[in-house]
Each structure stands twice: as C-alpha cells, then as structure tokens.
Amino acid sequence: MAQQRATNITWHEGHVERQQREGLLKQRGATIWFTGLSGCGKSTIAYTVEHALVERGHLAYVLDGDNIRHGLNKNLGFSPEDRTENIRRIGEVAKLFADTGVVTMTSFISPYRADRDLVRKIHEDAKLPFIEVYVNVPVEVCETRDPKGLYKKARAGEIKEFTGISAPYEEPHKAELTLNNVDVTVQEMAQQTLDYLAQRDIVRA
C-alpha cells in the first residue's frame, strides 16, 4: 500500500514481508535447534558455527542458557513443567528471530521429545525452517569430561533432576542432523552444520 512520497521515501503501512528482510540479508531465516546432554558440546559447536557464518557475512545469533536463563526465563526452575515452559518460550523467541531473517541457533539440553516437537510445530505453522541437530555423546563420555563439574554434583545428590543421571533424556527420532561428538573436532562438526545449511539454501555455500 504505497501512500505518498515525502523526501526520498515511499511510505508504506502494514507489515514488512519476511522475504524482504531475507533479501537484504541474502540468507533465509531458520532455527537450528541443538539438543543433547550437558557437556556434549552443543554451545561450543553453535558458537563456532556462529563465528563462521558472521565471517561469511551472515547474520547469526545463539540463544543459550547464558542469555535466556538469566533473562527471559529467570522465573523458571527445573521441574518438568518449568522445563517445558522454558523450551516453549525459547521456541517462540527462536521463531521470531527466524522470522526476522536471522540464522538462529539454540543450545539447550531440551530433553523431552514432546517439547522439541512442539517447537518444531511452532516453526512449521509459521513456514519457517526448523533443523534439529542431535549432538550425540554417550552419557558416560559426558560424565568423564564433566567440564563444569555438574555430573559430579548430580552423583553427589547436590543437583536434583539432572538429565542423564536422575532425569530422562529422550533421543530425537527425526533429527535433521546428528553430530557424533566423539573423536571428532569441533571444526569438523561446525563444517557439517554449515554444509547442511548451504544444502538447505539457508546460507550461501
């Protein structure tokens, strides 16, 4: 709905279409949903992909515990209900980011299949690409690595409802990409992710 010309602008009302923003950015908005046990490497991979994308001129952003649990979701705990609401809110935010045209990566354990499927549906309803990436590392390996000492605390009973120890992790049945993070470098897994995004026409090859 062009309205009138003032200075050098054609004024429009109403929403800007997603495709216009994607055209500016020369990429497609999408959500890359990393899921896996604590310590499996989700965030390291996501941030490595983010760096590589930004170096190639793409706009990417990572949502993770650091920027979500201390902000948007700071009023949620770790009960099953709160975990579900945690993931639901993150999914809704990721959808808005993807609608903006951003290559959005999320790095959360997100242990319940139903929660991940809900987020998938939110994206499907908005006709936005949702790419579930399962970072697959056996719990014994994660526990040996234990970079934050969380498994030790979980074994000592200092952390309740710890995924893989005292709370379930439901493996994805339909992940678009599975990264087996054992005897492989972060760079190789980041490259696999980038290749997949190029194959899906989300970013340039």
Spatial contact of 107 and 34, defined as CB atoms under 8 Å apart: yes
Give, rounded to a whole angstrom, the gap between the first and last alpha carbons of the chain: 36
Distance of CA 79 to the CA centre of its chain: 21
CB of 154 to its own copies, least distance (A): 26
Which is nearer to its own copies, 17 or 156 (by Cβ)? 17
CA distances from 17 to 44, 104, 114, 115, 119 (A): 33, 18, 31, 29, 22
Q: Which stretch, 17-25, 106-114, 140-148, 161-169, contacts its own copies (CB under 8 A)? A: 17-25
CB of 67 to its own copies, least distance (A): 6
Binding residues with its own copies: total (CB under 8 A): 51
Q: Which listed residue (71, 114, 127, 205) binds its own copies by CB under 8 A?
A: 71
114 binds its own copies (CB under 8 A): no
The alpha-carbon radius of gyration of the chain (Å, integer) is 19
57 binds its own copies (CB under 8 A): yes
Nearest residue to 190 via CA among 29, 65, 63, 41? 41
| Contact positions with its own copies (CB under 8 A) in 175-194 | 186-187, 190-191
79 part of the active site: no
3-state helix vs strand vs coil in the chain, percent to 5 = 45, 20, 35
Distance of CA 130 to the CA centre of its chain: 9
Which residue ranges make up the site for its own copies (CB under 8 A)? Answer: 3-4, 6-7, 9-16, 20-21, 24-25, 44, 47-48, 50-52, 54-57, 59-63, 67, 71-72, 75, 85, 89, 92-93, 95-97, 99-102, 122, 186-187, 190-191
Q: Which residues are catalytic?
A: 110
